[in-house]
Amino acid sequence: MSDALRDVSRETADQLKIYAELLRKWNPRINLVSRTTLDDLKRRHFEDSLQLVKLAPASGHWVDLGSGGGFPGLVIAIAAPEYQITLVESDQRKCLFLREVARTLSLNVDVLNERIEAAQPLQADILSARALASLPDLLAFAERHAYSKATLLFPKGRTADQELTVARESWTFDVDRIPSQTDPASSILKITGARRVGHQPET
């Protein structure tokens, strides 16, 4: 078990257990996570999501795009209630599930059933997205929904280098690449100062 899950409070561990039960109950109907990862929820989804918390500023509005079954955004809402959290998900049935978990666990999260491109700008201090889109597309989403000084957290697999190369053709940004604690082939891109090439930074 990685530090991320070992360090959580008793209350968080209990809430994650209830979340896992709801996922198993709903998954056959909605396909929230692939069946192959259902037996390894802790590592593939909970720890993988939790590791983002220590890479983020200590508070602020955290927007998770394309949350699906709630990764990473709902896990963060459970483990780190100090954030104001918004989950954006276009699939109505997945939103029903996200709201059901939030209601059951009394979580303070907004679930937005909209397409990212159509939603009103969300003014995120922290923006995350896992398994949603390539880095250039994610940066365009962040341009709409995050403050220019926001921290962007994008878990990425083997294509990270290639996506960084393509993204640098149109964007400038600072990036830290943090090895994933759950998958040796993956890393988390922590991006700050993102702006389109040729755009002046805001003062």
Ligand X SMILES: C[S@@+](CC[C@H](N)C(=O)[O-])C[C@H]1O[C@@H](n2cnc3c(N)ncnc32)[C@H](O)[C@@H]1O
Is 85 annotated as belonging to a binding site? Answer: no
Q: In the bound complex, what is the minimum distance in angstroms from residue 66's beta carbon to ligand X?
A: 3
Q: How far is the CB of 69 from ligand X (least distance, A)?
A: 6
Region binding ligand X by CB under 6 A among candidate stretches 88-96, 99-107, 164-172, 194-202: 88-96
Q: How far is the CB of 183 from ligand X (least distance, A)?
A: 13
Q: Which member of 3, 131, 157, 177 binds ligand X (CB under 6 A)?
A: 131
Q: Examine residue 44 and tell whether it contacts ligand X (CB under 6 A).
A: no
Answer yes or no: is 116 a known binding residue.
yes
Residue 1 lies near ligand X (rule: CB under 6 A): no
Q: Is 6 annotated as a binding residue?
A: no
Least Cβ distance, residue 67 to ligand X (angstroms): 5
Q: Does 18 bind ligand X (CB under 6 A)?
A: no
Q: Which is nearer to ligand X, 133 or 172 (CB)?
A: 133
In degrees, rounded to 5, the angle at the alpha carbon of residue 77 between the alpha carbons of residues 159 and 121 is 70
Q: Give dist(CA 18, CA 107) in Å, integer.
A: 13
The residue among 96 and 149 lying less far from ligand X, judged by its C-beta, is 96
Q: Please enumerate, by residue number, every residue annotated as part of a binding site for S-adenosyl-L-methionine.
A: 66, 71, 116-117, 130
* Residues at the interface with ligand X (CB under 6 A): 66-69, 71, 88-91, 94, 115-117, 130-132
